[in-house]
Amino acid sequence: MFAERLKQLRKENGISQQKLADLLGLRQSTVAMWEKGKNSPEYESLLKIAKIFGTSMDYLTGQKAQKTAHRIPVLGYVRAGIPTEAVEEILDYEDVTVPESDKGNYFALRIKGDSMAPRMMEGDTVIVKKQSDCVSGDICVALVGSGDATVKKVIKKDTGIILMPLNACYEPLIFSMEEIESCPVTIIGKVTELRAKI
């Protein structure tokens, strides 16, 4: 499986065996042996190959479907604190590695506020997968009312939901089933990754 996928990726990217060998600091004959299935790369070389082709080690070794890098927009700010309107202006772009079939289902938002501190701080970016439901305990972006968005841990109860901050200085936002419908409160996505500022 590795031999086939390496050869396919190399050809799709227009890279010769010699060029790949140069990038890896190896001999061309080593790459040729890999593609013939007569030898396999060590872990460090496998890691470098995955980085060169923007794919995963699992894909290279035949364990998972290919994931490729896609650029997604950072859409305005979302408050980690009191809900505030999520303005859909593009502030920046982030590269994410997701399955090809899933590339349109992700967006990013910039954090404002400190209700999710110390895990999420102002200026951090969250990668969000679009989905209208979640499992209790997931950290999600929720719309409260007509256009107010907030990042919170979602706790599901039989009587409603709680949007729970991680910062103890903030009170949880509690909604009954009736309030979820009338307000409304809507889950727009699950946070899958945090990209923090250093």
Span of 60-69, 99-108, 151-160 with lowest mean pLDDT: 60-69
- Domain 2-64 top-level CATH class: mainly alpha
pLDDT over threshold 60, residue 78: yes
DSSP letter string over the chain? -HHHHHHHHHHHTT--HHHHHHHHTS-HHHHHHHHTTS----HHHHHHHHHHHT--HHHHTTSS--EEEEEEEEEEEEESSS-EE----EEEEEEEEEEGGGGGGEEEEEEESSTTTTTS-TT-EEEEEE-S---TT-EEEEEETTTEEEEEEEEEETTEEEEE-SSTTS--EEEEHHHHHHTTEEEEEEEEEEE---
pTM confidence score: 0.62
Q: Where do you find CATH 1.10.260.40 in the chain?
A: 2-64
Mean pLDDT of 104-122: 89
The boundaries of every CATH 2.10.109.10 domain in the chain are: 69-195
Could you say which of 11, 48, 56, 152 is catalytic?
152
Q: How confident is the model at residue 66 (pLDDT cuts 50, 70, 90)?
A: low
Catalytic site residue 152?
Answer: yes
Mean pLDDT of 3-16: 87
- Quick one: pLDDT at residue 101? 63
Residue with tokens 């946070």: 191
Q: Which listed residue (29, 38, 48, 115) is catalytic?
A: 115
Say which residue, 68 or 58, is predicted with more confidence.
58
pLDDT in tens, 20-63: 999 999 999 999 999 998 888 888 898 899 888 888 787 888 77
Q: What is the mean pLDDT of the chain?
A: 86
| Higher per-residue pLDDT: 102 or 180 | 180
CATH architecture for the domain at 69-195: Ribbon (2.10)
Q: Does 132 participate in catalysis according to the annotation?
A: no
Q: Report pLDDT for 88.
A: 60
